[in-house]
């Protein structure tokens, strides 16, 4: 598996949004994006294929608990657990050649993050991002959704994220501009179990391996 290529041009630091949500606001938004009586294994108001619902599976031998593995072919994210198991989630990956396979370190986690499109994204589709070039406030319509795990190469922020999405029907497809998308209710379950310093392996379509069954 190759290390992901760096962006060809520097990306400006995100402009901070105007507001910061309170804890009560975050709790209210969590309730808004969580189905009533939520059961990760069965709740499916999004109409996902059942295989994309969270499932505990047997992990392959030798994988490090706490690490994340993303299978680009099956569109699965595996979070490796102690005791030889993994939680498997359905994801969406980047469209076309925007998917960046590599080995990353998770160095930041944010509940209800702000978001700003990168300059590369704006250059590719200026009309799409014209109204949000300076960033989006947190909330259920924010492109990063309810949770974000920030992927780094060394000390460099790659601007790639594993994050919630306000477009849950994209799960199973290729939809993003580089990031790995999850249903917000699913990443809310995953988020507290991921430690800063964990490794995230994003496999290429050619090199994808299954971390669990």
Q: Which of 172, 127, 164, 128 is closest to 145 using CA atoms?
A: 164
Report how far residue 51's alpha carbon sits from residue 75's, in angstroms, rounded to the nearest whole number.
Answer: 10
Give me the catalytic one of 69, 114, 179, 186: 179
Report how far residue 92's alpha carbon sits from residue 59's, in angstroms, rounded to the nearest whole number.
Answer: 21
Q: Which of 92, 108, 119, 118 is closest to 202 using CA atoms?
A: 92
Report how far residue 110's alpha carbon sits from residue 173's, in angstroms, rounded to the nearest whole number.
Answer: 25
Torsion of CA 100, 103, 109, 110, to 10 degrees: 0
Give me the catalytic one of 79, 114, 163, 186: 163
Whether 179 is catalytic = yes
Whether 163 is catalytic = yes
- Active site residue ranges: 163, 179
């Amino acid at each position: 598996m190759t290390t992901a290529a760096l962006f060809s041009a520097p990306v400006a630091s995100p402009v901070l949004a105007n507001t910061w949500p309170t804890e009560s606001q975050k709790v209210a938004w969590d309730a808004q994006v969580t189905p009533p009586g939520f059961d990760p294994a069965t709740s499916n108001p999004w109409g996902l294929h059942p295989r994309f619902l969270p499932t505990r599976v047997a992990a392959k031998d030798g994988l490090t608990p706490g690490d994340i593995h993303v299978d680009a072919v099956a569109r699965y994210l595996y979070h490796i657990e102690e005791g030889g198991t993994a939680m498997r989630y359905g994801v969406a990956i980047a469209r076309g050649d925007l998917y960046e396979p590599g080995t990353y370190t998770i160095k930041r986690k944010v509940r209800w993050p702000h978001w700003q499109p990168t300059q590369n994204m704006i250059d590719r589709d200026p009309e799409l991002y014209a109204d949000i070039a300076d960033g989006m406030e947190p909330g259920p319509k924010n492109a990063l959704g309810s949770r974000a795990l920030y992927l780094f190469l060394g000390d460099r922020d790659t601007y790639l994220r594993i994050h919630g999405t306000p477009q849950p029907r994209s799960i199973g497809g290729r939809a993003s501009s580089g990031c790995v998308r999850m249903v917000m209710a699913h990443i809310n379950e995953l988020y507290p179990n991921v430690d800063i310093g964990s490794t995230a392996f994003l496999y290429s379509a050619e090199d994808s391996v299954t971390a669990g069954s």
